Amino acid sequence: MSQASWKDQIKKKWGPHSHCPVCGKAMATDKKICSQSCKDNLAEGERKQKKKGRFQCIFLIVMMVGMILLLFLPGLF
């Protein structure tokens, strides 16, 4: 067994596993999140991300309206 590489040893020790996307801890492959607190963290992050996305969307629309006004206003006068 001394011939086994360290990778094989780790595989044997931990078995098939995946990592929590929130904290990066090893966990069972059938789980998506390792714990309830990480689940809460993820939900909080997603909510913030959505808020940010909406703000960016509004910003983009304002920019576009501004550009259109800049393009068309000189022609109106």
Q: Residues interacting with Zn ion, by CB under 5 A?
A: 20, 22-23, 25, 34, 38
Is 25 or 51 the residue whose CB approaches Zn ion more closely? 25
Is 37 or 49 the residue whose CB approaches Zn ion more closely? 37
Q: Is 51 helix (H, G, I), strand (E, B) or coil?
A: helix
Q: How far apart are CB 23 and Zn ion at their closest, in Å?
A: 3
Q: Please name the residue ranges forming H helices in the chain.
A: 6-14, 36-76
What lies within 8 Å, CB to CB, of 45 at 6+ separation is 22
Is 25 or 50 the residue whose CB approaches Zn ion more closely? 25
